[in-house]
Amino acid sequence: MSPEQAAQEDILGTAARWRDEGREVALATVIATWGSSPRPVGSQLVADGEGRFEGSVSGGCIEGAVIEESRKVMASGAPSVLQFGVSDEQAWEVGLACGGTVRVLVERVE
């Protein structure tokens, strides 16, 4: 098993454990990337209703927005797709080689 597969199974195990403990739980998964992306497709983050989380979908730069969206998804039950991106021009201004886009699916764990 690759390290990526082990980490993903760990996130899914955490989601199941938290749900079994009676917590509200949401799972965020990177479903598409374009250009520069800190995390590959399939990367996951699990969050609970208290704002605790494990895993990563961005290496830290968009986790706050994903956790906030997770709370909304837990409350409504409706999945959501978020898209984050930076143009090549914006990336260059902050010292990055190129821009990119990340799409993240957020869904409630039942």
Percent of the chain with pLDDT over 90: 58
Is 71 a residue whose pLDDT tops 70? Answer: yes
CA distances from 32 to 20, 74, 96 (A): 30, 22, 20
Confidence of residue 6 (pLDDT cuts 50, 70, 90): low
Query: What tokens appear for 84 in the block?
Result: 């984050």
CA distances from 81 to 4, 11, 44 (A): 22, 19, 14
Tokens 């399939």 -> residue: 42
- 59-65 long-range contacts, Cβ below 8 Å, gap at least 24? 62/102, 62/104
Q: What is the pTM assigned to this prediction?
A: 0.83
